[in-house]
Amino acid sequence: MIDYKETKKIASKKRTLSKINLAIRLSIWLCLGISGTLIVLCGIAYVVNSELFHVKNIEIKGNVHVDRNEVLAMLDLEQGDNVFNWDMDAAQQRLLKQPWIKDVSISRSFIPASVSIRVSEHRPTATLILKDKPYYISEEGHVFASASDDRYGIMIQADDYEPANGQEDLNNVLKSAIQAVSVVEAKGIKVKDIVIEAGGVMDIRLASGITLVILGEMTPRKVDMAMRTIREIKPAIGTVMDLTCKDKIVLRNRGQYGSQG
């Protein structure tokens, strides 16, 4: 007779060894992960606490009108601070908000830990008086800072000027004023100051006592016309030479009017 008794299943030795190997591999990777994490944490702790990465030197170059202590305050960095903990990008943004600073570059080294800052400042080429308040004008013709008692470059009086479109119009007329001074003085004529009247008309007052009146761009041709007229008729001090017309100069002096083609 055939015996139909239930037989017990015996687990395969090969499958058992495979499970054991898998458990061993997982344990090894877990140990490696924990070890790697501990190494990273120890490395971070070393970097944060090691005096090797404490700032030894802070070099600042290019600042003339911005005091070194002010730059340091905006950097929010002192000697002895950890160079890795310092937010260089945030420091650069703070520096760029300083009115005198046009541009700034920052670099840092880690061994030895040091920081180098190179500041590029606006170069004031004129001082503007607007609504009885003084401002400094950059070489691009833009107002960049309120003025102190110091005055730089050509004085531009604009108390009666009302820009129709706000800052944009003001920048345009100031740019024209700076350009006009450059063109006139390139011909050897010294400019004393400029008065900007309503509507953007500019009175360029020369050191000789003559006033050139323009609206818009001053061109070398207009300056040549004025110089020729001055040589020919030798106008008196206080004479106003109106150059707003294209092909002629209108002379005004003490209520008398005339014209010069």
In angstroms, rounded to a whole number, what is the distance separating the alpha carbons of residues 181 and 178?
5
Q: What is the strand order of the sheet 101-110 is part of?
A: 57-61, 113-121, 101-110
pLDDT (average), residues 5-28: 64
Which residue matches tokens 């691009």?
140
Residue 257 has what pLDDT? 40
**Backbone conformation region of residue 131, classed left if phi is above 0, alpha if psi is from -120 to 50, else beta:** left
pLDDT score at 261: 45
CA distance 198 to 252: 19
What's the DSSP call for residue 111?
Answer: T
Give pLDDT, residue 258: 41
Confidence of residue 46 (pLDDT cuts 50, 70, 90): low
| pLDDT exceeds cutoff 80 at 59 | yes
Tell me the average pLDDT across 44-70. Answer: 81
Q: What is the predicted pLDDT for the residue at 259?
A: 43
pLDDT digits (tens, 9 = 90+) for 74-85: 999 988 888 888
Give the three-class secondary structure for 21. helix
The answer, yes or no, to whether residue 10 has pLDDT greater than 70, is: no
Residue 140 near residue 109, CB atoms below 8 Å: no
Map tokens 């420091």 to a residue: 91
Mean pLDDT of the region 127-137? 92
Higher pLDDT, 33 or 215: 215
pTM tops 0.85, yes or no: no
Task: Looking at mean pLDDT, say which of 160-164, 168-172, 184-188 comes out highest.
Answer: 184-188
CB 118 within 8 A of CB 92: no
pLDDT attached to residue 205: 95
pLDDT more than 70, % of the chain: 81
- pLDDT over 90 for what percent of the chain? 51
pLDDT computed for residue 11 by the predictor: 52
Question: Is the pLDDT at 199 greater than 90, yes or no?
Answer: no
Q: Is residue 41 very low, low, confident or very high in pLDDT (cuts 50, 70, 90)?
A: very low
Average pLDDT taken over every residue of the chain: 84
pLDDT band at 151 (very low <50, low <70, confident <90, very high): confident
Kindly indicate the confidence band of residue 13, based on its pLDDT and cuts at 50, 70 and 90. Answer: low
